[in-house]
């Protein structure tokens, strides 16, 4: 499904008037939950979350997703800014137009579900990726954006139904974090606590092009090959995985990924408001749909998926050990000077054991996907520290990879 970052969105923010007096910390107004992508594409892009957000509202007329996020926001105590939450008694008084106000919205920009046959069971892996976007209300321009996300694996004896998968997504959005269930909005509060509101004057990071070598298509699941838009969904998965890992390991903001050529040329995204924002918007006289300007990046990471490969690593009495590898080229580009600063060809092996003669099978893509996930995560971790690691030692030339990562670290810091 084609992910439109030029997203349609309704931000009639009904928010209380400014507090008087000088503030040591910048004030940021809470704007609730949003989807990335056009409203007309929401069902296709988020088949489970889009239904969950429409569940019946509570006594405050808040739907469960909005109530869950609001509860987290009310408990949040950011270090570098003050989060202002509109009260029900001031909703009809709010108008941010021309006030040079800063606004925060929590955006769900990816729902990825993978069902893999693993020997005698099925494993469901679900990613929910998001962005904390703070923007200038009067300029309609992104000030800073911080990717985050959660990932959960669940085992089933039989292939799970859509209802079973939707129940898992519901738990990831609505139920508290436990050992087995990561909550999406808990990940938001953890990330938001330490983030800085001021825009970067230099060193803005963005994922640019995500390209896929045609030879690797044979290893991708059918869901990514049905249409060109389906392949775009895989590109979005790669980009959001990278940006989330990069921001998590380095603590740096990352500009939203722009998938389509028209989005890149316009340097704009838009946001499709959730139920809470729709309710607020209906009470604002000057509410309208608008796009958000994305600042130009100082540095761009381009990612090329080179391919996937598997090999029999070891054969023992009663079992076989297979290795599944992913191979990726990652380069750093500086648009202002039009030059490539560094390039790394990296790889990572994922090992799987299978009993021989059992008739059990596994889906290759599940192993390749794990290899790719760990490759991108390990690369980003390497940008924060070049200490010895299993990921680094898995590279063809660990010392050269370490030098390249150190060089990139010096450029972007």
Residue reference for tokens 């959001």: 240
- How far apart are the C-alpha atoms of 142 and 157, rounded to whole Å? 45
Q: Residue 21: which region, alpha, beta or left (left: phi > 0; alpha: psi -120 to 50)?
A: left
Give me the domains of the chain, ranges plus CATH numbers. 27-200+259-295 (3.30.160), 205-252+298-413 (3.30.160)
DSSP structure string for 74-113:
HH---SSSEEE---GGGGGG---TTTT-EEEEEEEEEEEE
Please give the model's pTM, rounded to 2 decimal places.
Answer: 0.86
Report helix angle 64-75 to 162-174, nearest 10: 30
Return the structure tokens found at 239: 């980009």
- Gyration radius of the chain's alpha carbons: 22
Residue 149 DSSP SS3? strand
Smallest CA-to-CA distance from 300 within 210, 402, 240, 391 is with 210
Please name the residues in contact with 227: beta carbons below 8 A apart, sequence gap of 6 or more: none
Q: CA dist 130 to 146, 328, 392, Å? A: 8, 24, 28
pLDDT digits (tens, 9 = 90+) for 117-145: 877 789 999 999 999 999 887 788 899 99
Vertex 182, ends 180 and 188: CA angle to 5°?
Answer: 170
CB of 142 closer than 8 Å to CB of 104 = no
Which residues fall within 8 angstroms of residue 249, CB to CB, at 6 or more apart?
377, 380, 381, 383, 384
How many CB atoms within 10 Å of residue 259?
Answer: 21
CA torsion, ordered 310, 314, 318, 322, to nearest 10 deg: -20
For residues 320 and 361, is the Cβ–Cβ distance under 8 A?
no
Compute how many other C-beta atoms are within 10 angstroms of the C-beta atom of residue 397. Answer: 10
pLDDT value of position 162: 95
Q: pLDDT per residue over 269-324, tens digit each?
A: 767 766 555 554 454 434 444 578 899 999 999 999 999 999 998 888 878 889 99
In 3-state terms the chain splits into helix, strand, coil percentages (rounded to 5) of 35, 35, 35
The H-or-E segment that residue 351 falls in is strand 339-355
Q: Are 103 and 134 in contact (CB under 8 A)?
A: yes
pLDDT of the residue at 81 = 92
pLDDT along the chain (413 residues), means of 10: 38 35 72 81 88 84 88 92 70 48 90 87 94 86 94 95 97 95 97 84 88 94 85 93 95 88 73 60 46 90 97 86 95 94 96 72 87 96 86 94 94 88
């Amino acid at each position: 499904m084609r992910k439109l970052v030029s997203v349609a969105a309704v931000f009639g923010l009904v928010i209380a008037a400014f507090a008087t007096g000088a503030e040591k910390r910048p004030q940021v107004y809470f704007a609730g939950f949003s989807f990335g992508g056009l409203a007309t594409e929401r069902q296709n892009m988020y088949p489970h979350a889009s239904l969950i957000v429409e569940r019946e509202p509570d006594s405050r007329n808040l739907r469960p997703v909005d109530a869950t996020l609001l509860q987290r926001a009310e408990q949040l105590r950011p270090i570098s800014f003050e989060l202002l939450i509109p009260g029900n008694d001031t909703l009809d008084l709010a108008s941010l137009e021309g006030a040079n106000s800063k606004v925060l919205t929590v955006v769900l920009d990816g729902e990825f579900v993978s069902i893999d046959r693993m020997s005698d069971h099925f494993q469901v892996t679900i990613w929910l990726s998001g962005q904390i976007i703070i923007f200038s209300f009067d300029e309609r321009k992104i000030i800073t954006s911080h990717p985050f996300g959660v990932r959960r694996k669940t085992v089933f004896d039989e292939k799970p139904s859509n209802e079973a998968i939707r129940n898992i997504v519901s738990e990831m959005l609505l139920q508290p974090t436990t050992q087995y269930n990561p909550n999406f909005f808990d990940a938001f509060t953890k990330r938001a606590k330490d983030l800085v509101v001021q825009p970067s004057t230099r060193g803005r990071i963005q994922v640019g092009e995500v390209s896929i070598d045609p030879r690797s298509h044979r290893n991708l699941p059918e869901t990514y090959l049905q249409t060109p838009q389906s392949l775009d969904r895989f590109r979005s998965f790669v980009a959001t995985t990278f940006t989330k890992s990069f921001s998590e390991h380095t603590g740096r903001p990352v500009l939203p990924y722009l998938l389509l050529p028209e989005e890149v040329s316009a340097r704009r995204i838009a946001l499709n408001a959730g139920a809470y924002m729709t309710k607020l918007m209906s009470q604002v006289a000057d509410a309208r749909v608008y796009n958000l300007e994305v600042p130009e990046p100082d540095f761009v990471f381009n990612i090329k998926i080179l391919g996937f490969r598997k090999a029999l690593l070891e054969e023992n009495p009663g079992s076989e050990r297979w290795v599944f590898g992913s191979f990726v080229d990652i380069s750093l580009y500086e648009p202002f000077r039009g030059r490539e600063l560094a390039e790394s060809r990296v790889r990572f092996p994922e090992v799987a054991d299978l009993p021989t003669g059992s008739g059990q099978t596994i889906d290759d893509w599940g192993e390749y996907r794990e290899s790719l996930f760990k490759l991108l995560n390990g690369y980003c971790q390497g940008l924060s520290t070049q200490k010895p690691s299993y990921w680094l030692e898995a590279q063809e030339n660990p010392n050269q990879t370490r030098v390249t990562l150190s060089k990139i670290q010096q450029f972007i810091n």
